[in-house]
Structure 1
Amino acid sequence: MSNSNNKEINDWENSRIIGQNKESAHNTYTPYADIESAIGGIKESPYYKSLNGYWKFNWVKKPADRPIEFYKIDFDISNWSDIPVPSHWQLEGYGIPIYLNFQYPKSINMQIIPSIDHEYNPVGSYRKEFTVPNNWQGREIFINFDGVDSAFYIWINGEKVGYSQGSMTPAEFNITKYICEGTNLLAVEVYRWSDGSYLEDQDMWRLSGIYRDVYLYSTPQLHIRDFFVYCDLDNNYKDANLKIKIKIHNYSEKELAGNKVELILLDENSNTVGSDILISLNDLNIEAHKEIEVKMNRLIKNPKKWTADTPNLYEVILNLKDSNDISIEVERCKFGFRKVEIKNSQIYINGVSILLKGIDRHEHDPDHGRAISYDNMGEEIRILKQYNINAVRTSHFPDHPKWYDLCDEYGIYILDECNLESHGLRMVLPKDDPDWTDAVVDRMVSMVERDKNHPCIIMWSLGNEAGKGKNFQIMKDAALKIDPTRPFHYEGDWNLEVADVFSLMYPTIEDLEKVGKNLPIKRFGKDFRPEMYKDKPVVLCEYEFSVGNSTGNLQEYMEIFEKYENIIGGFIWDFADKAFRKYDENGKQYWAYGGDFGDDPNDRNFMCSGIFQPDRTPKPAALEVKKVYQNIKCIPVDLINGRIKVQNKHDFINLDFINIHWELTANGEIIQEGILSKLDLGPKEEKLLLIPFKNPELRPETEYHLMIKSILAENVLWARIGYLSAWDQFKLPYETIPAPISDSKPISNLEVEDIIEKIILRGKVFNIIIDKKIGGITSFIYNGMELIAAPLVPNLWRVLTDADLCFELASRAKIKRKKFYWKTVIEDRKVENYTIDQISPQVVRIKIELTLPKQKSTYKIIYTIDGNGEIIVENEFFPDMEIYRFGMQMGIPKEYDKITWYGRGPHENYWDRKKSAAVGVYSMPIEDFKQDYVRPQENGNRCDVRWVSFADESGFGILAKGMPLLGISAWPYTMDDLKNAQHINELPIRESITVNIDYKQKGVGNGLTESSLVHDEPTLNKYRLKGNTLYTYKFLLKPITKEDSIS
């Protein structure tokens, strides 16, 4: 496997060399001079100095061309450029980003392991001058790199300090002996690829450089090098035994005796808990250049507990004093009292079983890659809370250290994942290979040591898609020596021998239900028997692959989660589309994905699988997640009398921060509303609620809905008062009253003319033309205004979504023919027969039969037209195979760009993703009605539409009314435009608007399950339009003017 025995091998091609002269991993901290500055935070420390900013930079394509002596003080860099640190050099104009899912880039040899192509392994050379504060004299000085991809050497003042690899955790060096007075020179040489890259085969952009913070800090000769704060709770989960392990290092040449460590515990108001000094360890003697570990513990009476619902934090302050009782050093960390347990096949926090409503989050900024700012992290954490997401898996590597601070503060459960993925080589690497043991263990230990003090972390993950083997047990054992308080996760543990949970990736609903019932399942040829997993909680480490327009049937997954106690939830893949912002030659923005930078090979837009756009604009999928994940649920008990059961699905908090706003609507119009202040309901409790509406005087042809909104009654950390946290809507079961017969609008006579190619119908103020070759309406002129710009014709196809394409499986000829079949079939239709029936002087019925290639049954259309220009359109078809949609499509003039509808909205929704779309009356311009995805595809649908109108500024236009319901979508471009575009900037604005009037459209599916991979089908059966089924539907088309009532 490894060629590490070769004496000539480079450090960056040697799997056994993972660092040189590096400091051992430890928790994240900053040394302070005193308690007051420690309470103030990092900016108050005189012993911290950031090196972020502009550095001098040089880039070459291969190691042989690098400036070998660049680290020397007198080396000429006058022609070097500046580069910001943190950053990725590819995003600053040096080389190109490469996007691959599990393939390795060309430079990484998959036959000789490890071996890197010396002809293309770019090297970035960095230089930075800095000074050291005067008050650091006589102290130890360290430099910390929070993240460098992938391997690097460091020099100070021309002297080599060390080497590091492992891109996602810190590299730290003691540089005390290299520092001089005045200006110092830091030089760093970064290699794009290294043997470490074999363990970093995550589904991500391959980017390089110093992309996280770089800083200096100094410590006294006697230094708290590491500490671990944890606790145990009593059997009642009330009182806590606070425990601390502290490592104290003596860097001096002599023994230091008579020292002591004091612990101070502060609450959220900076008041001391217990006595001013909670614990003190005295008479600590440390030999020269030695390190000791000491332990503290103290019973804390009923502290406030930390959970995602109640992120109560305390401050732990450690004060190291010398023999004269003078403070030498103060360190601090935030701490939350909480206990994680696995029992009864569930996961418990502080004795309460929890459900993980999670998401996978990959660090990515559309402009800066993995060089994310603190402000952006803050924005994302607030989004998570606002969208009812309570858990994040750091897929697939440890995140920026400050991310965990925010999760502690806001309340997010974290599954912290080790920077280990060998997807493209997981059958051989790392497995049992001892040449890779140190590397994988180092990655695990570095993560656990760095992050161990964060209460938000409730589980460690050994990595992702890296196969199986003895090395994983070794990793777990090493982590357990550091932290025995948290369980372990690893989806690749298919024998269920290492992990404490049974992790599933993209299970089908059927398999998940079997696991909930403790039944055997088979996944990808592997048998999982109940005795293997019956004592382990089941977690979905990835589900609902949200690529493009997808995230269907999320509600079905949540129903399974809530039905079976042994299923503890899951993590949706994933948070945001990982594309980059680019502009075309006309200055129009678009999102760039694999291949757009000249990267070859690439996996195109496979990484655009988030519920948010790259800029964190919510996609409709995000709104579906917010709705399905909501923590307040209303269930109808007796709707007519306003009796509703309210459930608090929060695990730890009362709903007394919520006001209930209710609305009674008639055909979408609010006719009554009210507020029930501050809902008093304990966690996991339910109660009956009386909504005090009065039964309305019923109107003809009117439906009534009750909307119940859960609104924040006060400001919280993540949202302001008035924020909509949850909602439910119910149709009231009133008897429908028919409309009275009215003769206020007499119907004019209708003339019909049947000529060679056309059927022409003339009313008093309109003309309609039906083309006999295509069977569709080609013109509808009303009061001299044309209402149709492209024929009204059948449509059985949609522009394929990313899920429809099943990630280029469509390149297989058979599947490709199947997926495009209905497009070509409908285009090749022929009119077989037609009849014209003059039912009365005012009404004409035209029946058309179409033949479709390779279809036994004919497609039937019936147009019933009256003298006022109202058209009832009926469709009937019996396909012999599944169809994407059953509907009709037409074009209308672009002036009719104001869309108003009564149905589900306001956002895009589909048959299997409409839980989040309430029934109402909505209005918006066409530009907002469509939905842009990174790669253009089917978009913009609205379900359960009663009626929809398209009007110009004067209110003139056309209306479609369902008989009873329709699916509607509209675009300012054609279907062919949508099919051909690869990026949103390629979509034109046409002179007409494309309108789709459907019976139904196939659900969008959830992108990736075993069903989609093996059977090429991402959509549940109940949301499909199967073949060998008779489909019929009808709708009304009519012109409208400003004076018309369309309700």
Structure 2
Amino acid sequence: MKKRSWEEIMEEISKRFPRYVEPAHDPEWLHAFMERFVRMVERDKNHPCVIIWSLGNESGYGPNHDALSGWVHGYDPTRPVHYEGTIHTRERKISRSVDIISIMYPSLERLIQLAEDPEEDRPIIMCEYAHSMGNSTGNLKEYWEIIRKYKRICGGFIWDWVDQGLKRVTEDGQEWWAYGGDFGDKPNDGNFCINGLVWPDRKPHPAMWECKKIQQPVEAEAVDVSNGIIRILNRYDFTDLSIIDISWELTEDGKVIQQGTLPKLFIPPHESEIVTVPFKVPEPFKPGAEYWLTIRYKLSRDTPWAERGYEIGWTQFKIPLEVPPGPAVKVSSMPPLKLEESDDEIKVSGKNFSLTFDKRDGCLTSLIYEGLNIIKKGPLLNVWRAPTDNDAPRLAPMWRNAGLNRLKHTVREVKSEKISDQLVHVSVSTSLCTPEEIERFKCNYLYKIYGSGDIMVEVDVDPASGLPSSLPRIGLQLTLPGGFENIAWFGRGPHENYWDRKEGAQIGVYSGTVDEQYVPYIKPQENGNKTDVRWVSLTNNLGIGLLAVGMPLMEFSAHHYAIEDFEKAKHTHELKRREDITLNLDYRQSGLGGGSCGPDTLPQYLVKPEHVRFSVRLKPISPSESAMDLSKQTIEHG
């Protein structure tokens, strides 16, 4: 017989009115309140998975709610009573008619204030938080740091579990999910029912991996990682860690070089134990290499909800070692370069490669390597993203009002200089202005082109005054011709991750296709970003392509869609795949937050309009070369 999974349920009557309306205070409504509530309790009182009774949802608060509470406390004293409406009383005191203090979408400061209230001892639950509409669920780590710090905070209910879309199929067979307004319904809530952690078919959003990581029941802390000493914490409430097998891996630049298992641990609930992981970093260290220790926690036996071997969590530590730098390539040993300049173009040619700058656009219009064009246009400063559902209420209008989605690049000056036979400098000065000729940014680029084919792009961004308090992103955008479909990177992955939603993405080396980087949010928006990236390569089926190296780290996304494609489409089937590839190499992109219904992105995860300097190294790559090895190389002058 198939076993049913256990779920703890807070039972809530489906009673919803605009807040602070009269029914909660009107005696004529008492019978209707009571009738519905009693019916629910009688129906579900014998279900052991129902652990809490709730008096309603967003229905104001008044004597009628107190009557429900009084009746159910007498009828069923075994279950606590909850109602979020009691936190909104005029007296600023939370009614004693409920056993749980409940709040929706609190700020971190408000949550701490409730937990530190000296007059309260009741448990605290966020009955709604971390609104997960579209590309969302940022800031989760900070909430759970507070939850774990204060014993009275029980946790919360992420809103929502599932995107509430209905499947539709176009005439040519494309499946898509419909939402409010797609059925001729007026009025409607639009896509405000599309706010789950999983798609309607129950496939998980990338945010689900963040939830799993942040809430995992076993964790490790560093004590002396260089010598393998860590602390294992058991966060289970009732179970010791004998049900968990703990293994470890030591990686060198993403490759496992050692692995093993730890002895069985019997750590009691809410306790910890210091253990030693018996790895040995090989000496001498590989020049430029990164060494990471990953601890994995897997079920040691079958359970009703998962089979033995299922991974319930992991922890990663970077081993702090003084690793020598990667091999240096002397400029004097590189092949010579040829510099040609006309009124419209600057062309630099070297062994097996050539590149062309368009003086009017102030960027590359070609990078030819082994007879193939790798770059069609760019890099150019980009500060815009297709607004997420969380951006829409407050940030996106502010950004659009500043014209950040309509900026035009105006070239002020382009100069070239041959520094030596093996080194050419091209400097470009630009302004980014709105169509109304309001200057928003000055941007200076310095291209250092080496005989090795390396192109060091140094970018200086100077924002003008009068900009919004935050920006969508600061970075470079390039257009690559189709065909460079194979993508690999060293950074966080394999799934999408952002500045404030990256805890659930492991550092490693990943590969796939450009098409696979697209995340099909039901209402298209910004997607597919990767953070803490050391390098990314895009190659064709012959292994020829482009390598981009962060100096030291960057973020990136790559799509067969332009930003405006995501911005204009209301449904996935409206997106038209382009042959070209849009590659974003970002200094930083703002986090996601939860602002569609709740607090905005935390200040530390916002890109501020401040003076910024950053660099990216571009280089053509061949099938005989290793992206990892090339990324470690340094350039030695003199």
| TM-score bucket (shorter structure) | over 0.9
Could you say which residue in structure 1 is the equivalent of 2:601? 1019
The answer to whether structure 1 residue 641 and structure 2 residue 227 are counterparts is yes
Q: Select the residue among 533, 536, 540 that pairs with 2:122.
A: 536
- The Cα of 1:856 is off from its aligned counterpart by 6.7
Cα-to-partner distance string for 1:110-145 (whole Å, 9 max, x where unaligned): xxxxxxxxxxxxxxxxxxxxxxxxxxxxxxxxxxxx
Task: Report what 2:289 is aligned to.
Answer: 702
Q: Tell me if the contact between 1:794 and 1:889 (Cα under 8 Å) persists in the aligned partners.
A: yes
> Where in structure 1 are there 5+ consecutive unaligned residues?
1-39, 41-374, 379-405, 519-529, 1012-1017
| Equivalent position to 1:835, from 406, 415, 419 | 415
Report the counterpart of residue 79 of structure 2 in structure 1.
Answer: 486
Distance in 2, Cα, partners of 1:767 & 1:929 = 29
Q: Indicate yes or no: 2:52 matched with 1:459.
A: yes
CA contact (8 A) 2:363 2:377 kept: no
Residue equivalent to 2:489: 901
- Matched with 2:444 is 860
The CA deviation string for residues 474-529 of structure 1, in whole angstroms up to 9 with x for no partner, is 112222232112111111112322222221110111221222222xxxxxxxxxxx
1:38-437 alignment runs, 5 A limit:
406=4, 410-423=5-18, 426-437=19-30
Runs of at least 5 residues in structure 2 that lack an aligned partner in the other structure:
629-638
Partner of 2:621: 1040
Please list the CA deviations of residues 340-372 of structure 1 after superposition, one character each: whole Å capped at 9, or x if unmatched.
xxxxxxxxxxxxxxxxxxxxxxxxxxxxxxxxx
> Which residue does the alignment assign to 2:633?
none
Partner of 2:183: 597
2:170 match: 584
Shift of 1:1005: 0.9
Residue of structure 1 equivalent to 2:505: 917
Residues 879-922 of structure 1: CA deviation (Å, up to 9, x unaligned):
24322111111121221111110000000000000000110000
Deviation at 1:816, TM superposition (A): 6.4
Structure 1 partner of 2:565: 977
The answer as to whether partners of 1:947 and 1:962 remain within 8 angstroms in 2 is yes
Summarize deviations over 1:1004-1041 as a string: whole Å, max 9, x none.
Answer: 11234654xxxxxx1100001112x2211111111111
Match of 1:713 among 280, 297, 300: 300
Task: From 396, 403, 424, give the equivalent of 1:821.
Answer: 403
Shift in alpha-carbon separation, 1:440–1:833, aligned structure 2, 3 A: same
Number of the residue aligned with 1:631? 217
The Cα RMSD (Å) is 1.9
Alpha-carbon distance in 1 for matches of 2:457, 2:398: 33
Q: CA deviation at 1:745?
A: 11
User: Is 1:515 aligned to residue 101 of structure 2?
Assistant: no
Alpha-carbon distance between aligned partners in 1 of 2:246 and 2:318, rounded to the nearest angstrom: 18
Number of the residue aligned with 1:941: 529
Q: CA deviation at 1:757?
A: 2.0
Q: Distance in 1 between matches of 2:77 and 2:481?
A: 68
Q: Which amino acid is the alignment partner of residue 507 of structure 1?
A: P
Report how far residue 857 of structure 1 moved. 5.5
- Residues 925-949 of structure 1, C-alpha deviations (whole Å, 9 max, x = no match): 1222121101000000000110111
Of the three residues 480, 489, 500, the one matched with 2:99 is 500
Q: Which amino acid aligns with 1:639?
A: V
Please report how far the alpha carbon of residue 669 of structure 1 lies from its aligned counterpart in structure 2 after TM superposition: 0.7
Q: Distance in 2 between matches of 1:450 and 1:763?
A: 79
In the TM superposition, residue 454 of structure 1 has moved relative to its aligned partner by 2.6
What letter matches 2:160 in structure 1?
D
Q: Which amino acid aligns with 1:838?
A: K
Q: Distance in 2 between matches of 1:578 and 1:725?
A: 27
CA separation of 1:862/1:666 partners in 2, compared to 1, >3 Å: closer, same or farther? same
- Cα separation, partners in 2 of 1:954 and 1:816, compared to 1, 3 Å: closer
SS across alignment from 1:823: coil
Letter paired with 1:763: G
Aligned length: 613
Q: Distance in 1 between matches of 2:375 and 2:45?
A: 65
Q: Is the 8 A contact 1:774 1:793 kept in 2?
A: no
Q: 135, 141, 145: which one pairs with 1:559?
A: 145
Identity %: 42
What CA distance in whole angstroms lies between the structure 2 residues aligned with 1:483 and 1:856?
64
CA distance in 2, matches of 1:651, 1:958: 50
Q: Distance in 1 between matches of 2:441 and 2:554?
A: 24
Displacement of 1:991 in angstroms is: 1.3
Aligned residue for 2:459, secondary structure, equals strand
Which SS does the other structure have where 1:626 is aligned? helix
Give CA deviations for 1:801-841 in whole Å, capped at 9, x if unaligned: 000002xx689xx63633x622212xx22111222221111
Cα offset, 1:744, TM superposition: 12
Residue identity in the other structure for 2:13 = C
Using a 3 Å threshold, how does the CA distance of structure 1 residues 633 and 485 change in structure 2: closer, same or farther?
Answer: same
In the alignment, which residue of structure 2 is the partner of 1:1000? 588
**Are the equivalent residues in 1 in contact too, given 2:331–2:423 (CA < 8 A)?**
no
Q: Evaluate the alpha carbon distance shift between residue 980 and residue 751 of structure 1 in structure 2; reply closer, same or farther with a 3 A threshold.
A: same
Q: Report how far residue 792 of structure 1 moved.
A: 2.3
Match of 1:988 in 2: 576
Which of 412, 429, 444 is 1:849 aligned to?
A: 429
Cα pair 1:508 1:1009 within 8 Å, conserved: no
Does 1:783 pair with 2:370? yes
Contact 2:517 2:528 in 1 (8 A): yes
The answer on whether the counterparts of 1:594 and 1:604 sit within 8 Å (CA) in structure 2 is: yes
Distance 1:1037 1:953 in 2: 20
Task: Please give the alpha-carbon distance, in whole angstroms, between the structure 2 residues aligned to 1:615 and 1:463.
Answer: 28
Q: Distance in 2 between matches of 1:739 and 1:618?
A: 39
Conserved? CA contact 2:25–2:64, under 8 Å: yes
Instruction: Tell me the CA shift for residue 468 of structure 1.
Output: 1.4
Change in Cα spacing, 1:744 to 1:877, as seen in structure 2 (3 Å) is closer
**2:331–2:451 CA contact under 8 A, matched in 1:** no
Quick one: structure 1 residues 581 and 678, their matched pair in 2 at CA, closer, same or farther if it must change by over 3 Å? farther
Please point out which of 523, 547, 553 is paired with 1:965: 553
SS of residue matched to 2:391 = helix
Largest Rg, 1 or 2: 1
Preserved CA contact (<8 Å) 2:353 2:367: yes
Query: 1:967–1:999: 8 Å Cα contact kept in structure 2?
Result: yes
Q: Any conservation in 2 of the 1:658–1:677 contact (CA below 8 Å)?
A: no
Partner of 1:679 in structure 2?
Answer: 265
SS at match of 1:878: strand
Contact in 2 for aligned 1:546/1:1007 (Cα 8 Å): no
What letter matches 1:452 in structure 2?
K
1:878 maps onto 2:459 in alignment: no
The answer to which of 737-746 and 879-888 deviates more is: 737-746
* Alpha-carbon distance in 2 for matches of 1:467, 1:629: 32
Q: Residues 816, 788 of structure 1: CA spacing in aligned structure 2 closer, same or farther, 3 A cutoff?
A: closer
Match of 2:631 in 1: none
1:678 is displaced (CA, Å) by 3.4
DSSP 3-state at the match of 2:237: coil
Relative contact order, higher structure (CA 8 A, sep 6+) = 2
Alpha-carbon shift at residue 740 of structure 1 (Å): 3.7
